[in-house]
């Protein structure tokens, strides 16, 4: 998959999520839209889902690590890990959409950090 295809996937997801948010704000929740139903439930429902998905990522990674065969990762467990990370990314995009943000905002932040030492970048953040 090339960069343009990856960009298109994110754009489609961003557009769809923004559309669902607009529908929810207008009181038109599509009964078939998972995103609209989740957004209608509110921030806490989305945060709960992200917590669940985060836990599933951790468990899938542990399963993948535990099922190395002759020094090689087991493709079945690798696939499960990828699927769980996809779920986490998706729900993170829904959360961003709930707050009228998108993948572009995250990509801009990652771009800003590119080339910075992780230690230096973390130290530059404002602490509360």
pTM confidence score = 0.85
Mean pLDDT over all residues of the chain?
A: 91
User: Is 30 a residue whose pLDDT tops 80?
Assistant: no
The DSSP call for residue 97 is H
Give the C-alpha separation, 99 to 75, whole Å: 36
Q: Is the pLDDT of residue 127 over 70?
A: no
For residue 89, which of 40, 47, 50, 59 has the smallest C-alpha distance?
50
Distances (CA, A) of 41 to 9, 45, 94, 104, 128: 26, 6, 12, 25, 30
**CATH code for 3-115?**
1.10.287.1080
């Amino acid at each position: 998959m090339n960069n343009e295809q990856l960009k298109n996937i994110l754009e489609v997801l961003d557009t769809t999520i923004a559309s669902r948010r607009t529908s929810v704000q207008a009181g038109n929740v599509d009964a078939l839209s998972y995103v609209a139903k989740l957004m209608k439930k509110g921030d806490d429902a989305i945060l709960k889902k992200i917590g669940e998905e985060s836990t599933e990522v951790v468990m899938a990674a542990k399963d993948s690590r535990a099922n190395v065969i002759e020094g090689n990762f087991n493709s079945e467990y690798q696939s499960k890990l990828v699927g769980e990370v996809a779920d986490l990314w998706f729900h993170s995009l829904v959360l961003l959409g709930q707050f009228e943000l998108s993948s572009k905002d995250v990509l801009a932040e990652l771009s800003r950090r590119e080339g910075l030492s992780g230690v230096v970048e973390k130290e530059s953040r404002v602490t509360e």
